[in-house]
Amino acid sequence: MKLASVWRLAALLSAAHVLTPAVAADYPQHPISLVVGYGAGGGTDVCNRTLAMDVAKHVGQPLVIENRPGAGSSLSVSYIIRQRPDGYSIASLSTGGLLNQVLTPSLKYDVTTDLTPIALVAQYQVGLLVRADSPHKSFADLVAASKRKRGLSYSTAGIGTPQHLTSERLAQEIGTQWTHVPYKSGPEAITALMRGDVEFMAQTAEWVPYVRDGRLRLLAVYTEDRMKGFDAPTLKELGHDLVAPSILGIAGPKNMEPAVVTQLQNAFRLATQTPAFENCADQFGLKVDYRDAKAFGAYLDDTLTTWRPLLEKFAVKE
């Protein structure tokens, strides 16, 4: 190769090296779409909107919420993996979106390889509840009733949800069987319990206002520690080494520019520290838990590894 050609090649490579950070520095130049896999008005939607308002201040462009509900948020994951990895299409990633890839093999995606983790922002908190007029005053009462009468019915927001999977493991440990009655959403599962269609419920903390106003009684929580503001024991305190898998994070298509990921993760970190987000988390029973992109990716891997054996038991047979 002639010397002049070598110099031209070196110049081009140098220019490419300089351009990459420049592109990241100019990001974003127009609004960012934040896809939420649940309908408007629920805790996931409302708290993502709260985050989006503050993130917009830090990145200098609006975050526009795009609701794509369905299949336990799997539809939103299937959508986001097909978008360009330019940072203008990101998604709220919840537990269902991760677990459903094992429960429903036809989805044909793998969160751990088809997405770019950006940040974990919070964890859902699951509780086991009965109506205020239930004869079960404590978790021990429910256990005793379960042993006297197998098949007590309970509601959740769907098959394969963290609350369903943890409840099935709990029933196995207790040595009984419960009848699972799945619904399409948390509010529907709550309504079923309020009507008396089921005897108890295992559900993420959309039930908080019902416990606070005395209509429901919280018997236990499926969290690592007791829920702030509530006196119910954890399953661990009750002798069962179980904690429900729980994820509420932000991710984008695979192969996103690292500098863009860093910019977004830092903006979400600041947004999780605001009183507005903390108030939203308290309203919907979320636990604020920020983790950066690397830690979030490791958390996804660990959750999938831990729960895969039970997930495969409930997987759709094709």
For the chain, list the domains and their CATH numbers: 32-123+246-314 (3.40.190.150), 126-238 (3.40.190.10)
Q: Quick one: three-class SS letters along the chain?
A: CCHHHHHHHHHHHHHHHHHHHHHHHHCCCCCEEEEECCCCCCHHHHHHHHHHHHHHHHHCCCEEEEECCCHHHHHHHHHHCCCCCCCCEEEEEEHHHHHHHHHCHHHCCCHHHHEEEEEEEEEECEEEEEECCCCCCCHHHHHHHHHHCCCEEEEECCCCCHHHHHHHHHHHHHCCCEEEEECCCHHHHHHHHHHCCCCEEEEEHHHHHHHHCCCEEEEEECCCCCCCCCCCCECCCCCCCCCCCCCEEEEEECCCCHHHHHHHHHHHHHHHCCHHHHHHHHHHCEEEEEECHHHHHHHHHHHHHHHHHHHHHHCCCC
314, burial (CB in 10 Å: exposed 0-12, middle 13-18, buried 19+):
middle
Q: Which two tokens stand for residue 231?
A: 């006196």
pLDDT in tens, 155-207: 998 877 889 989 999 999 999 999 999 987 788 899 999 999 999 999 999 89
CA distances from 128 to 139, 191, 216 (A): 9, 15, 10
List of the chain residues with pLDDT < 50? 1-23
Q: Which two tokens stand for residue 222?
A: 């499926």
pLDDT, position 24: 63
What are residue 292's phi and psi, to 5 degrees? Answer: -75, 180
pLDDT, position 315: 81
pLDDT, position 14: 45
